[in-house]
Chains A and B, each alone.
Chain A
């Protein structure tokens, strides 16, 4: 490992990259066939000389009513700022360029720019003709996998961290952005320099290089939404300042007469065990203990959380019945209509709930109880939605793409943010008494239907027009939460060789949690799962992650 790992790297990589980028991957120019196998670059960072993270230089904008904390509290705005600033002095494009971008979408496809005021205005502001290739979220993995294999790459390609082998793809095929973004170089794109470091880290380095631009999201992980009025009454003064027993008592009192204390949907929510584990002081996915890299599920704290959930389910019976098969949307409905008094969700879920519930009751966020296990931690999420890769090209082209990304990353309170997130004044929104009101047209023409918010995104803020109290509540929650917050240790780490056992092994623990909590099997089943992990390749995953972690963090 003392050999200079980068010797000969770039040129070889460039050769491969351009060949592949040109679609030769499958047409298979004979010359390439023989040697390509040995020339695939690993995306791993261990053994490389990683470039520095982009510097963090905040953009000066309107002063928020509630201050942000770069550790993980998002700025709160109680009303829309009166005076906006501009963060992009020049149009990114000349108006002649065409640019393709593949992005995930959750909405029906919009009208094209010819019949879409929002899209047309955005194109005008960007100075490019933005052509979007939309992929419905359910089909993202399949579409990206075929695209990777077919050698076609759009100018901008949105990917998610969990898409298998995507880091290898990025390392081998995408444009290397290190010289444009690493360290102080990022200052040429002020809005990208304004992205929090946690977002860059969650995207990670590939082969020691910066290969993409992150799509920033809040750092707060999952949280329990509550029916504030009812729970305050049931908790009798201990609300949000409770010990574990008081918390359990409250949920018990909240259960009965066709109402239920705790609602968790099926799928990855796992009866809330990951959240309960953070209350018990378990590591966030992985932990460093006495210099050892430890998987959360293997710790005593995590085991205690499984046992705690089992007690809530089997003894106290506070879960809404049928949790293991409950569709997410049904569970949300049950919370909105008051059947379930506390529901496990995440930060975007909080905003959605506030809108859906309206004045019926106050949606609050529960503070974790004290007195469990090794003491409270709160587990941050990675803080990105995914990241965007750029198609290799001449430096001028790369700079154009980065200027477009810089525009789309303009933060709240800038004219660029307003154009990207709210559209055109008078068409998509009106200013009414200093606040913002979206028009009917904004329902079909917005950054979700024209999904540019999945290309890159500025640091999140809390701004719910017409509901300043909801902003105060979530800001207060984050302010308390950040004190015990720990990031996922594996954020942005690449485990190429270990990825395969990992996929199945993750299922191993998920299956065990569901079985044990529901009472289908005893805690012994959990211990067996832990043993299986250790004996069937999980150790290798852990070791690789530890190596990667060391490589990325020596920067």
Chain B
């Protein structure tokens, strides 16, 4: 692999780059392969630029991706990947026939939707708030403050919540409403969302701040000269400028929708039980990982991937309908 890197390091060396073929150049009637070759001739630099990255994905993802065959096997570790016996769809069957699996899937989806509605927009809102601050110094300090919680591990975040909201904690002991918030199954899902807001809202602003910094200031100026107030400038300048990034993040989140904070939930599910607190990842952890039922874990991973793929595909389609780029076009 080191060789790939060296090679990659050398690849974007000075290249006699022919001017690009204009985008609208007639494709002609040559056979397909010739057309491709011709098309690529003008793109040698782009191709070379893509090589290191693509090589990475081929080696470390696609080679390793074959490991997912164990979803169709009864994987015995010391027998190795290939010698373990095939079991067909047995792992999937066991999974889909299990009521606990669907309960976990439902919990996962509920938490994911709650996150999308209540957590996803907040970093954007906070970023806009920060961005609107006139005093650079204040802004810098606050910016530095809000990302700190991101670096606390979940063990510590959960312990801090315990300290605050637990029955003998700062609020838990005194405010009737929160007494059992940590052990009440009904409060579990909102609690998970509140925790992730506390931990990652600030960190999430970073991308949006970068996007906001790229908005062309001239547009604001000309909009202002045209008589647009702050609100209209927001709707007509700010929002359109950052919309592609927002949509990008949204679609990526949808692809990952069946993943909702494994460590966070593993640490807290016991207190409320599986009916309220089991999510797919913890379910798979107990079934597949602790039991070294690797084929089962892999099957669950494939299931999550397929659901994610469907959602990404649909969301991307919708984005195109709305005239957006989406993740791919």
Contact call A324/B271, Cβ cutoff below 8 A: yes
- Cα(A327)–Cα(B274), bound, Å: 20
Complex Cα distance A32/B292, Å?
24
Main secondary structure of the interface of A (DSSP, over half): helix
A37 touches B79 (CB 8 A): yes
> How many residues of chain B are within 8 Å of chain A by beta carbon?
37
A515 touching B79 in the complex, CB below 8 Å, given contacts A320-B168, A322-B182, A322-B183: no
Give the distance to chain B from A344, nearest Cβ to Cβ, in Å.
Answer: 16
Q: Is the CB–CB distance between A165 and B292 below 8 Å?
A: yes
- Interface magnitude class on chain A: 35 or more
- Within 8 Å by CB of B270, from A20, A26, A321, A514, lies A514
8 Å CB contact of B273 from A37, A267, A504, A520: A520
Binds A, one of B57-65, B80-88, B216-224, B316-324: B80-88
- Residue of A whose beta carbon sits closest to that of B162: A325
Partner of B79, one of A25, A141, A507: A25
Question: For the complex, is B103 an interface residue (Cβ under 8 Å from A)?
Answer: no
Query: Is the beta-carbon distance between A500 and B79 smaller than 8 angstroms?
Result: no
Complex interface: chain A residues within 8 A of B83 (CB): 25, 28, 32-33, 36-37
A90 on interface, CB distance cutoff 8 Å: no
Assess whether B162 is in contact with A164, with CB atoms less than 8 Å apart.
no
Complex: how many Å from CA A344 to CA B289? 29
Give B248-275 interface residues, CB cut-off 8 Å to A: 268, 270-274
B184-205 to A contact mask, C-beta < 8 Å, 1/0: 0100000000000000000000
Cβ B185 vs Cβ A325 within 8 A: no
**Chain A residue nearest to B185 in the complex (CB):** A520
Cβ-defined partner of B291 (8 Å) among A37, A168, A499 = A499
B76 within 8 A of A: yes
Q: Is the CB of B287 within 8 A of A325?
A: no
B residues near A37, Cβ cutoff 8 Å: 79, 83-85
Please judge, given known A-B contacts A145-B77, A322-B166, whether A518 and B183 are in contact too, CB under 8 Å.
yes
Residues on the A chain within 8 Å of B100, using CB: 504
Name the residue of chain A whose CB is nearest to the CB of B179: A321
Is A503 an interface position by the 8 A CB rule? yes
Rounded to whole angstroms, the CA-CA distance of A503 and B294 in the bound complex is 13
Residue of A nearest to B167 (CB): A321
Picked from A20, A325, A327, A503, the residue with its CB within 8 Å of the CB of B182 is A325
Q: 1/0 per position for B151-167, CB-CB distance to A under 8 A?
A: 00001001100100011
Determine whether B293 belongs to the interface, using a CB cutoff of 8 Å to chain A: yes
A48 to chain B, nearest CB (A): 19
Known: A40-B76, A149-B80, A500-B293. A324 touches B286 (CB 8 A): no
**Is residue A240 within 8 Å, beta carbon to beta carbon, of the partner chain?**
no
Contact partners of B25 in chain A: CB under 8 A: none
Q: How far is the CA of A3 from the CA of B328 in the complex (A)?
A: 64
Contact A503–B286 (Cβ < 8 Å): yes
With a cutoff of 8 Å between Cβ atoms, the chain A residues found around residue B273 in the complex are 511, 514-515, 520
Residues of A within 8 A of B290 (CB): 141, 164, 503
Asked whether, in the complex, the Cβ of B78 is within 8 Å of the Cβ of A28, the reply is no
Residues A148 and B271 in contact in the complex (CB < 8 Å), given A503-B286, A504-B286, A504-B287: no
Contact across chains for A148 and B166 when beta carbons are under 8 A apart: no
Per-residue interface assignment for chain A, residues 502 to 520, with 1 indicating a CB less than 8 Å from any chain B CB and 0 otherwise? 1110010011001100101
Which A residues between 7 and 54 are near B, CB-CB below 8 angstroms?
20, 25-26, 28, 32-33, 36-37, 40
CB < 8 Å: which of A168, A266, A507 contacts B78? A168
* In contact, B166 and A169 (Cβ under 8 angstroms): no
Whether A149 contacts B78 in the complex (CB less than 8 A), given A325-B271, A499-B291, A510-B270, comes out as yes
What are 24 contact pairs spanning A and B, CB under 8 A? Answer: A25-B79, A26-B82, A32-B83, A36-B79, A40-B79, A145-B77, A149-B80, A165-B77, A172-B78, A267-B270, A322-B167, A322-B169, A324-B183, A324-B271, A325-B183, A330-B162, A500-B287, A503-B287, A504-B286, A511-B270, A514-B271, A515-B273, A520-B272, A520-B273
Q: Which residues of A contact B (CB under 8 A)?
A: 20, 25-26, 28, 32-33, 36-37, 40, 141, 145, 148-149, 151, 163-165, 168-169, 172-173, 258, 266-267, 320-322, 324-327, 330, 499-500, 502-504, 507, 510-511, 514-515, 518, 520
A-B complex: 8 closest residue pairs judged by Cβ atoms: A321-B167, A164-B292, A503-B291, A324-B271, A149-B77, A148-B77, A25-B80, A322-B166
